[in-house]
Amino acid sequence: MNWILNKKRTLFFKLFVSFLAIISLFCLFYILIYYVFKTSLQEEIVQNSHNETKNTAERFSNHMEQIQIMLFHMYNNQDLVAFNRQLQRVGLEQADYLKAKNVMMDIRGYVYNSLFLLEDVIVHFPKEHFAFGKSGSSSSDYMFNTSYQSVTYPLEHWEILADQPHTFLISPAASFHMNAGSPESRRLLPYTFKKPGTAYQIIAMVNIEKAVESFFGTTDGHTLTITDDQSNILYHSGSTAEGEAIPVFQNGETALKENGRYYFKAEAADGLTYITSLADTRITDQLQRMTSYMVLIFAFSLLAATLVSLYLSRRLHTPVKHMLSSLLDRTSRNEADDVRAGDSIWEYDLIQSRIGELKKEKDTIVDKLNRQNAILTNYSYMNQLKNINTDLSEWNDFLADGGSYQIVYYDIRFRISENGSMPLDREGAVRHLLDYIHLQTKEIIHANHTFQMEKNEIVSILKGASAIQLQALLEQLKASLDEENHFYVVTICTLPATDQPTKFSETYQQLRDLASEARLLEETQLISEARPLPDLDQPLVKRGREFDQALQALEEDTCMEWIRQAFAQFVKKEASVLQFKQLALAITSHINEFMDQHLPCKGAATSLSDWEYMLQDCHSQEDYESVFKHIIYSALAVLRDNKLSPSEEPTIAMFYEIINSHYMEDISLEYLSEKLNLSTTYLSVYIKDKTGINFSEHLQKIRMGKACELLATTNWTINEISVRVGYQNITSFNRIFKKTTGISPGIYRKQHLMEVHHQQKHVD
């Protein structure tokens, strides 16, 4: 029982019950929607049946109108009128039957036209006892008692009808036997036309069954009744008798339900009334069938939702379970039973309890640190005080005396000789500068403390120094330091005074940032405020292809001229020393990648780290050109020594040239095979055999190298860099970049900036 109670408080149980509650609400909503839908569906079926009745009445009305027009034209047929005159004048024996034959041809045209749905059109001359239709002429007795025999319509009916005053008359449908004694019968609807006083009548035999099938459709479960303006039934479909009683519709009523059937009424323009009926059980059957389908779908959906809820509850609970396993030790697990009491979620209570313990531990540590020296706590660079040549207690007393103080930061950048060697001992030179700065400062400002922070950094802390005193000190130091600018270049940075000892680390970092914004000048620079850095075009992006062509051609002078122009552009725009260093690193990285691409099986002779170490001591344009002259010479020497053999050079060299020039395009192996006039299969195997890797790996390596270069040297967005290296889909670019480098492009850019800053911080 306790196990069940404990399970009720688990996160899994709470999630699962919550999902089931949501599913239950959706189920209730589903049932409500179903009942509303069921009612509206029943009304929709009734309305559709009503509309069907109206459409049937309209179709029948149009058809009867067409037959009426046909009868009128037939009645006024010139040949029929002429033949009738001959019969009246000379009698049946001497009449011209060619006229009658022409009329019979017209009759056949109407009968065999499927649009009229006619069985026959009969022209009847009652006084002459003569008639003809589609099959020919005969006596009236043969026509109506043999060819079209009907109990309802014998010859006597048509003779009596000829004396009636009606012009157009629709008679009730009846069964007609085709030829006397034949079992074949058809249900026809007679439509008669006769003008008063004329000697003949025209009878259109409408095939009412075909008409009903065309205009009403199947009668399965439905019935159709047609009545005239006197409520006489002209036609009734279905299994019931034609004399079945039709319900009485009140004025304006078009639908009613009676004796388990729905009845629908529609009146046509020709005076006929069309009544359809539908059994109530038919609608009920449709609703029951729909209900069965809906119940089946509902059951399946409920089962699927329950299984998904179970799955999601486990998925959401599993990481919490693993987190608790890693968070809690044995002691905490033994104490977990105490947390189970209550109504909240057990896992959350346990996490909250553990967080409370961690908070107590954190508060204890903070209290302990607060009891220690406040200066040491906030001074993040105190671990570097090992290089200070003054006693630590003196430093503590100096800051603890209170009052405002000002920091002067000296960044020393040693230069190299033309042969690449250092002209003097760095450590000794820094100590000499430290002593000199200390003595010069003490002569003007007595309250000062000067010490070495890093190998190439000196810091002076001044108290009570006026602006005039500080300016005089800095100008005196600048004049002295400029005399030795062929050995080193110094950047001096200052910021306004502060009275907060704990702000030392923050101010120190700001001064280092100011030093990184210094211009590339061969003199001592005094910097007291930040300047906006210029927005520079990266030469490798705009003119990288020219540089690759010069390297490919092994032209040392062209390569050096390209580098001189690149640095001259940076000098013209007054770039910072950090921007110059980033440019130099980007060029060396590009040269290294170029060598890797053209020496795929051998590798570059000089490592990238060696070149970067050489660039650390470049503090003027001449320094950079001197180092790059050595780098270009070394790189081209390796390329010359490892140049491809004559048998490989034409194809592989062109292959490298194409992919290095068109890597940003949608280049493919098919494109290369067309350019090199080789089959795709052969070229793929050839590249793999000669270089060790296949085409796609070559292309990906170049693109990723260019992407790394752009991420490190430009401020372009990742999406812009993706397009510039040949990836239109940024998702694919991110995936391949992370697969290649192990990190995302954004993280790579941040790490590179941190590395550059770290290198600048530890420049020898």
pLDDT in tens, 504-527: 888 888 888 898 888 888 889 999
Q: Give the CA distances from residue 416 to residues 234, 424, 485, 616, 624, in Å, rounded to whole numbers and listed in that order.
A: 121, 9, 11, 10, 10
Question: By three-state DSSP, how is residue 411 classified?
Answer: strand
Please give the average per-residue pLDDT across 221-236, as a whole number. 86
Tens of pLDDT, residues 205-215? 999 988 988 88
Q: Is the pLDDT of residue 691 over 70?
A: yes
User: In angstroms, rounded to a whole number, what is the distance separating the alpha carbons of residues 65 and 57?
Assistant: 12
Q: Strands 488-494 and 525-527: what pairing?
A: parallel
A 10 A CB-CB count for 137 gives 17
The partner residues of 519 in beta bridges, in order of sequence, read: 576
User: In angstroms, rounded to a whole number, what is the distance separating the alpha carbons of residues 141 and 135?
Assistant: 15
Per-residue pLDDT band for 646 (boundaries 50, 70, 90) equals very low
Going by C-alpha positions, the residue among 631, 619, 626 that lies closest to residue 415 is 619
Q: Give the CA distances from residue 558 to residues 414, 574, 658, in Å, rounded to whole numbers and listed in that order.
A: 29, 24, 21
Q: Tell me what percent of the residues of the chain surpass a pLDDT of 70.
A: 81
pLDDT of residue 147: 87
Tens of pLDDT, residues 448-486? 888 888 878 899 888 888 888 888 889 999 898 988 888
Going by C-alpha positions, the residue among 403, 382, 709, 383 that lies closest to residue 542 is 709
Q: Is the pLDDT of residue 344 over 60?
A: no
Token pair in block for residue 269: 């323009």
Residue 130 main-chain phi, psi, to 5 deg: -135, 145
Token pair in block for residue 215: 């205009």
Is residue 611 a contact partner of residue 631, using CB atoms and an 8 Å limit? yes
Q: pTM value?
A: 0.40
